[in-house]
Amino acid sequence: MRSEAKDVDSYLAELPDARRAALTRLRDLCRAELPAHTEVMAYGMPVYTLDGEPEIAFASQKQYISFYLMRGDVRDAFADRLADQDMGKGCLRFRNPEAVDETLLRDLLRATAKGPGTTG
């Protein structure tokens, strides 16, 4: 669901309570683990960029929470841990807000924060 929110606070404010809590935790995790990244709204969702390049994003979709991992090098490095996840090309999907795997996401964010890599 594409949002017209101008900033992440507004984006979070428009979400249902259960989704807002889970996405607020995800935002806090991104902010803690990606200190060199800039938080912006793009494509109707919160996006974390490095030198203007989008690397991480998340969104509340109709049926799930999406976590977009735009760094192909990080996806490749975590292929074994991502194999059992509900995942599209670069998007992890969590159908239950309470089932967001924060440990996995923290590890992915830490790998992303180590420096620029390749998107795709």
Whether 43 and 56 have beta carbons less than 8 Å apart is answered as: no
CATH entry 3.30.460.80 includes domain 8-113: no
115 pLDDT higher than 80: no
Structure pTM?
A: 0.91
Q: Which of 82, 88, 103, 2 is nearest to 44 (CA)?
A: 2
Question: What are the sequence ranges of the domains in the chain?
Answer: 8-113
* 68-91 confidence digits (pLDDT tens): 999 999 999 999 999 999 998 889
Bridge-based pairing of strands 65-69 and 38-42 is unpaired
